[in-house]
Amino acid sequence: MPSFDSLFVGTHDTTPFMPSSHDPWLVALSIFLAIFASTMALQVAGVARETANYFYKQVALASGSMALGCGVWAMHFVGMLAFELCTPVSYDYSQTLLSMLPSLGASWVTLWILSRPSITTSQLVIGGVLVGGGIAAMHYSGMAAMRMAPSLRYDVVWFLISAAVAVSLAILALWIRFGLARTNNNWHGVIAGGVVMGFAIAGMHYTGMMAARFVGTPVTDGTMASSSATFISLAVALISVALTILVLAVNTLLRYRQLLAQMRASESRLRAIVDTAADGLVTMDSRGNIVSINPSAEALFGWRGDELVGRNGEILLHGEYGASYNDLLRQYLAGGSSQVLGMGREVVGRRKDGSLVPIRLAIGEVKIRNQQSLFVAFITDISERKGMEKTLRDREQQYRSLILNIPGAVYRCLPESPWQTLFMSEQVETLTGWRAEEFMDGQVSQAALIHPDDIERVTQEVRAAFSQGLSFVVEYRLMHRDGNIRWIWGSGTAVTDADGKLEWVDGMMLDISERRVMEEDLRDAKTRAEEAAAAKGAFLANMSHEIRTPMNAIIGFTELLLGGHLEVQQRRHLGTVRHSARSLLGLLNDILDTAKLEKGAFELDVIDFSLLELCRQITASLRLSAESKGLQLALDYHPALSPFFKGDPLRIQQIITNLLGNAIKFTDRGWVRLEVLSSHGQVNIRVSDTGVGIAADRLDRIFAPFAQADASMSRRFGGTGLGTTIARQLTELMGGQIQVESQVGVGSVFQVLLPLEAGKPVIERPVMTQQPLPTLRILVADDVPQNLELLSLALSKAGHRVTTARDGAEAVTLFLADSFDVVLMDVQMPGTDGLEATRQIRRAEMQRGVPATPIIALTASVMEEDRRAAREAGMDGFTPKPVELPRLLNEIAQVVGVVFERHAENPLTRPAEQPNLAIDWTRGLELWGDSHAFEQTLRRFCDEYGDVSALFTPMLDRSEFTEGSMRVHRLRGAAANLMLPRVAAVALVLEQAFRSRDEVGVRTAIDGLTTEIAAVRAASALHHHDTPIATGGIDRPGLVRHCMEALNALRHGELVESALQAIELGLEGLGRTETLARLHASLAGFDLVDATLIIEALLKELEPETAEDGYASA
């Protein structure tokens, strides 16, 4: 291994050095080669840096490294040839070629560093050291290949300087390249870096040559020929330059191919973008002529691209828009005005078919070097947006119009009090007197205007609604700006965000002040209507009571007179009075029924019943009336219809009877038919006739109260017009409907549709027989002696042991002193009444711990509140007065748990109405069971109350109304038990007058009661001496003559009193009381047709042959 002394010159070495020199032209050639190779290498490095293809990049680096390495080696070789030494010099070929390797390595490092997009300081220093070291290694290894006589040594200082020059200049060259690459002119950096790198290579070489010391003796005659060195240097230089250029050309060709591929790819991408762009793109030249157009523009304008190329772009714009853009384009080209560029405008385009389209147009300039600029128009179809804008404008206008026309104000506010307003419609000024702007500016709030008495309620209701996720509706008072109070109907809905937090409230306010006034008026009107209805009901009840009272007297006295010996004319007149009075009572009953139905006080008693049996009974009861007019009455009950239903048979009977009775009344000839069938799951009851019919314009009035088809019907047939009204009201009460079809002169059809449920077969309702109860100990408490006597006698005859008490206190005392099976307790008694006595008995039983004894209430009041009071007091049963013994025994049996033996009774059978006599002998004898006892009790009653005026007038004078009412109550109870209906009725009027402290009413009732008791006394005496009417000795031929005389007169619309009196006497003698009553009713109602039919039927019965002769003569 060479030693230091063999390589470097020592400081004390005195050996002479050989002189040397350089050829300046060859030196310049070597420097050129270094700079040229470095510059080309930097350019190739730039190509490698720009390419993205890995293969191209590696090819560029390898070829550039070879070119630079060869160039550095060539520079060194030419530089060595430029060196002139006074001794022959030769080179070792292998070592000379090996010296090229450091140069190639340094070149590769240089190009690798230069191909990077950026470099750090440490990378720059390391790269410069490697490059400089490679150049130095190449130089000194090449120097070592010299073969000559002198020894080659180096000066240490210059040796180090040469290495420093190589490294520092390499770092500088790299820095310059990367520093100048940031500027816009890339070539400046390439050239500057190449020059510095070339000087780094040459500077290192020639600095190294300065460090070389040739130790030996010069040879004066043996110099090299300079021409040979020059030739070799030029050859090496040319080869190096050619190689470098070849590398550059190859890399340039590769770069071109890469750029061409990139350009084609870029063009493809650009074309794809242009072709697939949603907006239209139109390229124009500087004159405004179209160069190209994308498919979107073709679709937008309806032109093909080849049709538009070369034509001016104004063809795509409507009217003045095209001309203005051409002007703006020319102004821009002339003076650089930019009004046409970079600014989007909304213009109107024109399609190929001439239709217009709104577009947004923006134009951009494309500057091309050394060519005229191109202009690209970006066109967007804004038809849809314009349509949406129009829709939004129209909708906004609609909303604005809607808001302006809403009879109130709409708002948006924050969800918390005081509800700061975000929006308020203008109508709020009408509601509050404050403008909408004042609400939105915060000058006034909704909460501040709500009435202080309502603000807390409104706040609670709003919060409660929002807490449940609901809208609120609230009515409150609002204070107007002018000081008035307005009623507001407010509603609102909370709007929440994605997290469910309340953001605002949208709502509206309506002025309902007028509605509130109307509601107050309606409430007042309702109250007045209810009061009027109550007054109407009270009036009807009072008038019914007031009319019934004299009617009872009229009918009673009429019955009393009819029971005596009268002349024929007197009897006929009294019969007319009785019939008219009963007609008036029937009218009162209908009016009361209508009032109850209108008030809703009617209750249905729904039970299982036989509709078929009901219809049979109705037709049977009306058949005589129909046959008397020569009418055929038929019942057609559909076989497929079940006979049993659930409903109120009494009310259904009332409906059918009214309709069927009207049909018979308004039919003169033909037939009347009752049909019952099923229709859509309902019972269809049809009543049809061949009567007079109803005009079409009168059908709507037929169900109105007191209405008939017309006035002539009322005059001809009579009636109140309430029958169909009650039928309709009862039908609707049952959930059904009633319909009518009629034709004048043909007849009518009434249909009643009832939704009746299917019923069970009717088990015949049992009726109690007079089977005796087990012997019972019965306590009877009543303050009326006649009642006590009646009950004692009736119950004792039934085998019971009876104890009586005259008031409630005595009843309690007797009950505590003895044991009883049942107690009959009058409710209204002086002192301790029945209710208090019952309560005391119940408390005593609880204290003793004994079972409760059954207690039955006895009262003349039958109101529901009286029943309820009796139950609350502890009573077990309830029996109204007048007491009916079978009913009382049934009640006793129920409370003591005894069942009577029973026999079947038709469930639809109703007892006939008893005549309103002064004394009901039939029921009285049935109740008392002993005519002698009954008559004796009647006489005692008449004796006790014979002078009613003397008994009650002093009480009235002393204003003893309570005592008077109690005394009259006792009288009324006794009259009821003695079956004195008229006395009981007048006593009820007197009792009510005492209770209401009506002095005039008391005096009037006292007079009426005096008359009725006198009538009882007379009827009792008359009954005692009454004998049956003789039925023999009738002059039948004479009766026939009187019938014919009466018929002739009736057919001429006249009445013959003598003939009619003779007929009435004959009917009495024959015992035909029913026919006599019908004749009286017909004559009283001036129904001459019915009277004619009755007399004709009687005449046929008496003497058919004579009757036929009579008809012939008539």
Q: Do residues 203 and 243 share a domain?
A: yes
Q: Phi, psi at residue 489, to the nearest 5°?
A: -105, 115
Q: What is the mean pLDDT of residues 797-813?
A: 89
If asked whether residues 108 and 218 sit together in one domain, one would say yes
Confidence of residue 831 (pLDDT cuts 50, 70, 90): confident
Q: Say what the pLDDT of residue 835 is.
A: 92
Q: Which of 491-505, 615-629, 756-770, 815-829 is most confident?
A: 815-829
Please report which confidence band the pLDDT of residue 684 belongs to, taking 50, 70 and 90 as the band edges: very high
Amino acid at 258: Q
Res 46: pLDDT: 66
Percent of the chain scoring above 90 in pLDDT: 7
Per-residue pLDDT band for 186 (boundaries 50, 70, 90) equals low
| Domain termination site, one of 844, 871, 905 | 905
Place of tokens 């609002």: 478
Asked whether residue 1030 is assigned to any structural domain, the reply reads no
DSSP 761-818: PPPPEEEE--PPPPP-EEEEE-S-HHHHHHHHHHHHHTT-EEEEESSHHHHHHHHHHS
484 and 421 in a common domain: yes
Residue 75 has pLDDT above 60, yes or no: yes
Question: Do residues 960 and 1005 share a domain?
Answer: yes
Which has the closest alpha carbon to 210: 30, 83, 98?
Answer: 83
**Separation of alpha carbons 1095 and 1082, rounded Å:** 11
CATH code where residue 497 lies: 3.30.450.20
Specify the pairing of strand 777-781 against strand 822-826: parallel
Q: What whole-number distance in Å separates Cα of residue 623 and Cα of residue 661?
A: 10
One domain for residues 1013 and 1040: no
Evaluate if residue 114 carries a pLDDT over 90.
no
- 308-349, pLDDT tens digit by residue? 888 888 888 887 777 677 677 777 766 655 555 667 788 888
Does residue 395 lie within any of the structural domains? no
Flag whether pLDDT at 51 surpasses 80.
no
- pLDDT confidence of 774, banded at 50, 70, 90? confident
Q: What pLDDT sits at residue 767?
A: 42
Q: What is the pLDDT of residue 804?
A: 92
Q: Report CA Rg, the chain.
A: 69
Kindly state whether residue 589 falls inside one of the protein's structural domains.
Answer: no
Q: Are residues 669 and 549 in the same domain?
A: no
Residue 635 to residue 639: CA distance in whole angstroms: 12
* 989/968 Cα distance (integer angstroms): 10
The answer to the question of residue 32 being in a domain is yes
Of residues 585 and 868, which shows the higher confidence score?
868
The CA-atom distances, in angstroms, between 959 and each of 178, 828, 972, 993, 1004 are: 137, 20, 21, 12, 16
CA distance 195 to 189: 10
Is 270 inside a domain boundary?
no
Residues whose CB is less than 8 angstroms from the CB of residue 138 and which lie 6 or more positions away in sequence, other chains included: 72, 73, 76, 99, 100, 101, 102, 103, 106
More confident of the two residues 918 and 615: 615
End-to-end CA distance of the chain: 187
Which of 1025, 1058, 1081 terminates a domain? The answer is: 1025
- Mapped onto helix, strand or coil, the DSSP state of residue 632 is strand
Q: Could you write out the three-class secondary structure of 357-424?
A: EEEEEEEEEECCCCCCCEEEEEEEECHHHHHHHHHHHHHHHHHHHHHHHCCEEEEEECCCCCCCEEEE
Only one residue has tokens 């040229």, namely 36
3-state secondary structure 444-475: CCHHHHECHHHHHHHHHHHHHHHHCCCCEEEE
In terms of pLDDT, which residue wins out, 45 or 553?
45
The whole-number average pLDDT for the span 557-568 is 62
The predicted structure's pLDDT at residue 564? 60
Q: What integer is the mean pLDDT of 781-787?
A: 80
Strand partners, 740: 750
pLDDT band at 380 (very low <50, low <70, confident <90, very high): confident
Q: What is the mean predicted confidence (pLDDT) over 683-698?
A: 86
Q: What is the pLDDT of residue 952?
A: 87
Q: How sure is the predictor about 1021, in pLDDT bands with cuts at 50, 70 and 90?
A: low
pLDDT at 600: 59
Tokens for 26?
């060859």
Contacts of 404 (CB under 8 A, 6+ apart): 425, 426, 427
Instruction: Find residue 742's DSSP bridge partners.
Output: 748
Contact between residue 1066 and residue 1039 where contact means Cβ atoms under 8 Å apart: yes
How many domains does the structure of the chain reveal?
8
pTM for the complete prediction? 0.34
**Least confident piece of the model among 208-222, 486-500, 810-824:** 208-222
Range of the domain at 622: 603-758
Q: Which tokens sit at 316? A: 């795509």
Q: What is the mean pLDDT of the chain?
A: 75
pLDDT bracket for residue 108 (50, 70, 90): confident
3-class SS letters over 517-581 = HHHHHHHHHHHHHHHHHHHHHHHHHHHHHHHHHHHHHHHHHHHHHHCCCCCHHHHHHHHHHHHHH
pLDDT at site 250 = 67
Would residue 913 count as lying in a domain?
A: no
* Domain termination site, one of 451, 482, 511: 511
CA distance 251 to 58: 11
Predicted pLDDT at 270: 76
- Report how many helices (DSSP H) and strands (DSSP E) the chain contains, helices first: 39, 31
Residue pair 902/963 in contact by the 8 Å Cβ criterion: no
Confidence (pLDDT) at 811: 92
- Bigger pLDDT: 884 vs 654: 654
Q: 776 and 747 share a domain?
A: no
Same domain, 799 and 850: yes
Mean pLDDT of 1090-1099: 80
Q: Is the same domain home to 94 and 228?
A: yes
Give yes or no: residues 798 and 849 share one domain: yes
Whole-angstrom Cα distance, residue 419 to residue 413?
Answer: 6
Give the residue among 538, 537, 534, 576 at the shortest CA–CA distance from 554: 576
Q: What CATH number has the domain bearing residue 880?
A: 3.40.50.2300
pLDDT band for position 184 (cuts 50, 70, 90) = very low
Residue 338 identity? S
Q: Are 767 and 902 in contact (CB under 8 A)?
A: yes
DSSP state of 680: T
Residue 33 burial (C-beta neighbours within 10 Å; 0-12, 13-18, 19+): buried
Residue with the bigger pLDDT between 1035 and 434: it is 434
Find out whether 72 and 204 touch, Cβ atoms under 8 Å: no
Q: By the 8 A CB rule, do 324 and 336 touch?
A: no
Residue 992: which pLDDT band, with cuts at 50, 70 and 90?
A: confident
Which of 902 and 189 is assigned the larger pLDDT? Answer: 189
Strands (E), 690-771: 737-743, 747-754, 757-758, 765-768
Section 934-951 average pLDDT: 82
Q: Which residue has the higher pLDDT, 85 or 649?
A: 649
**Structure confidence by residue, pLDDT tens digits, 18-29:** 667 777 887 787
645: confidence class by pLDDT, cuts 50, 70, 90: very high
Whether 264 is in a domain gets the answer no
Please report the pLDDT score of residue 549 as a whole number. 47
Least confident of 238-252, 433-447, 812-826: 238-252
Beta strands 408-413; 421-424: pairing state: antiparallel
Q: Model confidence over 860-882: pLDDT tens digits?
A: 554 556 778 888 999 988 887 65
Mean pLDDT of the 743-764 span: 84
Residue 769 CB burial class (10 angstroms; 0-12, 13-18, ≥19):
exposed
Please choose, from the candidates 40, 90, 33, 35, the residue with its C-alpha nearest in 3D space to the C-alpha of residue 65: 40
Specify the DSSP class assigned to residue 100.
H
Whether 545 has a pLDDT exceeding 70, the answer reads no
Q: What is the mean pLDDT of residues 788-811?
A: 85
Pairing of strands 757-758, 644-647: antiparallel
Any domain includes 65:
yes
Decide the pairing of beta strands 280-284 and 374-381. Answer: antiparallel
Tokens representing 636 are 């057609």
| Confidence at residue 719, expressed as pLDDT on a 0 to 100 scale | 46
Q: Contact at 8 Å (CB) between 485 and 501?
A: no
Q: What is the mean pLDDT of residues 285-300?
A: 85
Share of the chain above pLDDT 70, in %: 69
Whether residues 463 and 544 fall in one domain:
no
Residues 1052 and 1017 in one domain: no
More confident residue, 173 or 1099: 1099
What's the pLDDT at 1031?
Answer: 35
Identify any residues that bridge with 751 across adjacent strands, giving them in sequence order.
686, 739
pLDDT at 689: 92
Question: Do 581 and 551 touch, CB atoms closer than 8 A?
Answer: yes
Model confidence at 687: pLDDT above 90: yes
